[in-house]
Amino acid sequence: MVGLEIRGRIERDWPMSKLTAWRVGGPATFAVWPADEEELALVLRHGRASGLRTLVLGRGSNVLAPDGGWEGIVLMTTGLRQTIWREDGVSAGAGCTLPALAQEAARRSLSGLEFACGIPGTLGGAVVMNAGAYGGDMSGLVLRARLFTEEGGFRECSGAELGFSYRRSALQAGGRFVTGAVLRLRAREEALIRRDMDTWQTRRRQSQPLGVASAGSVFRNPPGDFAGRLIEMAGWKGRRAGGAEISARNANFIINSGGATAADIRELIAAVREDVERRFHIRLETEIKIL
């Protein structure tokens, strides 16, 4: 990135397998870790002026990167971790991780983030996809979000303006990037918060393949049903394509069991979707973002 100087980090031809939870993906032309919001804006403006595509990632926990890599900039938000805690919530940068926010909220006797204690993503990505679990999601917490806009500046918008629905937001249309958000929380005894967090973590350990490379739930749950149930009923648990495998613990997870490629994962996604639709007449939609 000729002429761009930042305090953060810039790497050329950086493997996206090092930037995504599935541990697959070829090299990005540039990988950039801005030190703060102003550097993030500088990189985004530079990319637009240079005609370079820019992909903004947190921890890459719900992204399938292509084997051929990304021609352009992959911009990591992990440097945006500032927090300002209040009696009724927190203002936090897009790079803050959900588990860290949930733990600190519990310490401060603030409730609302219990569901997020085991979601391995960042706040920015969670707002974009309206991340949720166990009956809670971001739509119930986001009071305001700070965005970098298509015009090259910043603006704040209310949670109502973000068009939240099940695992969706208006931000998924692209063009705008989350740099931070204000979450509205409520007072509650720390012991009760931690009791619920322990319950969710226990359920997660029992029902999800933790400790392996995956991107979480691959498909959105269809109305009134569960994607994992349908996939299991179709007999897909444990089936493989190359190094990619349908988890034997949760059929809505595809794990990288070693040496998987994006092509392997895409093959499984397509085959599962086709088979479930043929058997049950339900078309599964992906929850993960396929680049």
Active site residue 167: yes
Catalytic residue among 17, 139, 214, 217: 217
Catalytic residue among 59, 146, 167, 176: 167
Closest CA to 34 of 91, 74, 69: 74
Question: DSSP code of 121?
Answer: S
Q: What is d(CA 264, CA 269) in angstroms, rounded to the nearest whole number?
A: 9
Angstrom distances, CA of residue 7 to CA of 43, 46, 221: 12, 15, 42
On the CB side of 226, CA atoms within 13 Å amount to 11
Active site residue 217: yes
3-state secondary structure (DSSP) of residue 24: coil
Q: What is d(CA 233, CA 227) in angstroms, rounded to the nearest whole number?
A: 10
Catalytic residues, by residue number, are: 167, 217, 287
